[in-house]
Structure 1
C-alpha cells in the first residue's frame, strides 16, 4: 500500500496558550491593567506611585508571563529560575544522591526501597474477575491506584495492512474510552527496547556448561551458540492505567475490588489492539522491569535465569538502585550506567501513519536501553468542548496577530475547527505527552553518541522537544511503567512559574 493510501490519524494541537509577541492574552491584559493603574495614579497626582505600578506590572509580566523560546514552546524566566533553585536546594540538602543497603541509613525493612515518590507506594495483591493474579500500586501521596499490563505486541512488519489499520483503530477506541470512565486519572504506554550483542549471553551460557561434560556435548553447544545472530532485540511493552481512589470507591478496599473488576476489560481491549496476550503485572514482574532499567546489563542475567528455570522472588518494594545520583545537569548516574531524558513540548505538526514513530520506538544502536513513554490524560466531554473552544480562539488569535499568517498558523486554525467538528460527531479528546529515557555507558564518548542519536530519532518524528536538565531523577522514574502521572505532582508554584 502506498503512503498516500495508508490510513492517517491524529489531530494534534499544542495546549500551550496562544501568544502575541511572546505574551498570552492574560499577559497583555496584565500590561493594560498596569498602564491603567499608572494613568489613575497620574490623575490623582501620584506620579511616583503610577510609575511604580507600571514598573512592578511590567516586571511581573516579564518574569512570569513572557515566554522565551520556539513557537508554542517558550518558557518563562520564572520557570527556568525555579528549576535551578530547586536543583540547588536539592544539592545543598543531599537529595540528589540516593543510596541503599546496610550502610545507607535507610530504616530497617526499607534498605532497598525505591527513591522519591516511589518509596511511598503500597503494593496491593489480589485476583481479578477472571482469576488472574495482579498487583495494584497505591500511590498514597496522591491517592491513585495503578495497574500495569505487560503486552507482547504482534510484529507489525508481518501483518497485512488491513489488520494493522484495524488494530490502530481499536487502540484509538481504547484511548477514547478512557474519557468514559470518570474515575480514570490517566494512562501510559511504555515501550522499552535494546539492541544487544550475543557475546554476553554466550559467555553466560558457557559458564553453566559443566567441566566434566563430554567433548561432543561441548562441541554441539559451541556450534549452537555460533549459529545465533550477532545481535538480537529485547523489547517489552507495558500499558498502565491509573484510577483516582476517591472516585472509584468509598475506601481503599472497595476501590481495589472495583479496579480488579475493570482489569479484564482493559486486557481484552489491548489484546484486540495487537498487544498479544496482556497480563496484569505482579510485584515480581515490576521489580524485574525496574532493576533492568537501573542497569540494562541485568537483562542478560534475567534471560539466563529464565532459560535455567530460576525464579527471582524480589518484590518491587525491594528493587531500589544501589545508588542514584542526579546532581549533574541532564545526566543521572545509577548502578554503573548513565541516563538522560527528553520530553516532547509540541506534538508533530503533521498527520501521522503507523510508521511515523517507528524509528523512535524501535531498538537502536548507541544506547544500552531506550524507554519511550506516552502519557494520556482523559478529558470529559465538557472539558473537551471547553478545550476545543479555547484552542479555536487561541489559534485564530495567533494567526491574526501576524501581518501574514504562515502555513503552520493556517493549518492550526483548520485543525482547531476540525476538533470542534469531530467532538460534535461524538469523538473524544485526550491530552497527551511523550518522554524518552535512554541509558548508556558513563563515558564522554557514549554520552556524546547517545545525545546525537537521540536528537536524530526525535527530529525524525517532527516533534519539538527539550532535554530534562534538572530533576533528572523525577523524569527517569516517570517513564517507568509504575503509574506516575507528572501532572498529579504539579503544585501551584509550578503553575504560576510556567506562566498563564
Structure 2
C-alpha cells in the first residue's frame, strides 16, 4: 500500500507598501534633512553660531518623524488626530440629533457625519432588477452595493476551496481593469437570529385541528431555535469616481453601472458567492437603519415578510440621536466600538484564517467586518513591483549577518511578486475594519476581550479607532465610504510622510 501526503494550500506574501525616503523619515523628512544640511552649510560660511541656530530647530522639527507606531504613524499624525478630536468636541460635532423636533432641515432622520450629504437614486440592470446608487457629492463618486449568500466551508473539499480562492483572486484582479473604480469593500455582518422569518414561516401553517402535542412542539421550536442560531449577510460595495473636469449626467452614469453589474455578479458566483444580486435603494436604507438602531431588526424583517418591503427611504435611515466619545459611538439602541488593522498575518496562512473573525460573536448585538480593497492599475503595478524588486536586491547585497538574511527573504518575496504580476495577477492594497455593537456601555469591556481573542486566532493586529469612532463606524457600512478618499491630507502627501 502507498499513502499520499495531503497538501493544503497556503497563502501569503503580502507586505506593507515601502515608504520612500531614508529610514522612518519618509520622503518629506528626507527632503527636509538634505535641504537643512545644505542651508546649514551655507550659513556656516558666515557664522558657526548662526548655523547652530539653524540646525537645532530643524532637528527638533524632524525628530517627531523618526518615531513611528506599529501601524506607521508618526508623532505629527497622532497630534493631528487629538487636535481634530478636540476641535470637534469644541464645536459640538460629536453629537447628532435629527427628526421633526431637531434643527435639521426637513425634519427627517438623515444619516450623520460622512453620510449627511449622500443622495440616493435607483436604476435597473439588464435583468430588470432594481439597484441603488449612492452619490457622494464631495468626492463625486458613485457606489453600488451587491448582496450575496456565500457557500459555507463545511463539508467542502480542499480542492474546491482552492478553486474558490483562485476565482476570488481573479475577480479582484479584474477590478484593476474596471474603468474609474476607486475601491471596493466587502462587509460581512453577523447578528443573532431574531426568529422573525422562522415565525412567519411556521406559525401561519399550524392547523387548528392538529394534535396539541404537535402544536406545542412547533411553537417551542419557533421560540427556542433562534437563541442558538445567527444570521449572516455579505455585501460588496463598489465605488466609482468621475475624472476631474468631466461633467457627466447622473442618468448616464447609472446606465453605465447597470451594464457592468451582470459581469460583476457572474464573477462573484464563480468565487463561491452563491446567489448574488444588487441591492435596491430600499434595501440599502434598511441595512443602514438596522445598523444605527439594532432593536428594529425584527420589525424590518417582519415588514418585509408581511408586505414585501418596508418603504424606507434614505432620508429616514439615520439615527434619532448619536454621541461620539473617545472610545465608543452611541446611537439609538446600540453602542459600538470599532477597530482598525495595524498588521496583517505574518508568514503564510490557510484559507480559513478569518473564519472565526467572521462568525457571530456571543454577547454582541451585531458585528461587521469590512475588508477594503484598493486596486492598482496594471501600469502602476508594474512600476511598484519593479521598484520593490530593485530595493530588495540592494538591501540583500549591502546588508550583513542577520540583516542580510532578512533582506534575502525580502528579495525572494519581491521576486515572487514580480513573477505573479507578470503572469497577470493584480496588485491590490487592502485593509480591515471591525465594528462590534452591544446594548450598553457596560458590555464594551467584554466585547473588547472577545475581539482580542478573535484577532489572536486570526493572527491579526488591531487597534481601537479612538477619537474617530463615528467615522470608523460609517466606513464599515455598505455605503461606499473609502477611508483614503475622505482624509484632510491628500493620499499622496500621507504616503510621503
TM-score (norm: length of structure 2): 0.89
Of residues 324, 329, 333, the one that matches 1:332 is: 329
Aligned to 2:312: 314
Aligned to 1:224: 218
> Separation in 1 of the partners of 2:378 and 2:424?
9
Shift of 1:417: 2.3
Cα shift readout 1:343-392 (whole Å, capped 9, x = no counterpart): 11232222232201111111111321110111111111121122223434
Aligned to 2:301: 303
Answer yes or no: is 1:54 the counterpart of 2:55.
yes
Check 1:188–1:4 CA distance in 2 against 1; reply closer, same or farther (3 A cut): farther
SS in 2 for 1:342: strand
Check 1:398–1:112 CA distance in 2 against 1; reply closer, same or farther (3 A cut): farther
Of residues 5, 18, 42, the one that matches 2:7 is: 5
Shift of 1:309: 4.3
Answer yes or no: is 1:423 the counterpart of 2:421.
yes
Cα shift readout 1:87-133 (whole Å, capped 9, x = no counterpart): 1111111110011111111111x511111221211222121122211
Aligned to 1:66: 66
Aligned to 1:138: 135
Q: Work out the number of aligned pairs and report it.
A: 486
Shift of 1:217: 8.1
> Separation in 1 of the partners of 2:407 and 2:296?
48
Shift of 1:22: 3.9
Residue 193 of structure 1 contacts residue 369 of structure 1 at CA under 8 Å; is this kept in 2? yes
Aligned to 2:79: 81
Shift of 1:232: 0.6
> Separation in 1 of the partners of 2:212 and 2:49?
92
Residue 114 of structure 1 contacts residue 317 of structure 1 at CA under 8 Å; is this kept in 2? yes
Shift of 1:154: 1.3
Cα shift readout 1:415-466 (whole Å, capped 9, x = no counterpart): 222212222222210111111111112233x111100111111122222322
Structural mapping, 1:43-442, within 5 Å:
43-45=45-47, 47-63=48-64, 65-70=65-70, 73-108=71-106, 111-196=108-193, 220-227=214-221, 228-229=224-225, 230-246=227-243, 250-309=248-307, 311-326=309-324, 328-392=325-389, 404-405=402-403, 410-442=408-440
SS in 2 for 1:285: helix
Residue 83 of structure 1 contacts residue 470 of structure 1 at CA under 8 Å; is this kept in 2? yes
Shift of 1:176: 0.3
SS in 1 for 2:435: strand
Unaligned runs of 5+ in 2: none
SS in 2 for 1:278: strand
Residue 335 of structure 2 contacts residue 439 of structure 2 at CA under 8 Å; is this kept in 1? yes
Residue 249 of structure 1 contacts residue 258 of structure 1 at CA under 8 Å; is this kept in 2? no
Q: What root-mean-square deviation, in Å, do the aligned CA atoms of Structure 1 and Structure 2 show?
A: 3.0
Unaligned runs of 5+ in 1: none
Residue 294 of structure 2 contacts residue 333 of structure 2 at CA under 8 Å; is this kept in 1? no
> Separation in 1 of the partners of 2:453 and 2:229?
22
Cα shift readout 1:156-214 (whole Å, capped 9, x = no counterpart): 2133322222222111111000111231111111100124576x999x88xx99xxx96
SS in 1 for 2:7: coil
Shift of 1:499: 5.8
Residue 114 of structure 2 contacts residue 474 of structure 2 at CA under 8 Å; is this kept in 1? no
> Separation in 2 of the partners of 1:395 and 1:461?
28
Shift of 1:19: 8.0
Moved more, 453-462 or 16-25: 16-25
Residue 392 of structure 2 contacts residue 407 of structure 2 at CA under 8 Å; is this kept in 1? yes
Residue 147 of structure 2 contacts residue 277 of structure 2 at CA under 8 Å; is this kept in 1? yes
Moved more, 216-225 or 427-436: 216-225
> Separation in 1 of the partners of 2:405 and 2:317?
50
Aligned to 1:37: 39
> Separation in 1 of the partners of 2:444 and 2:395?
39
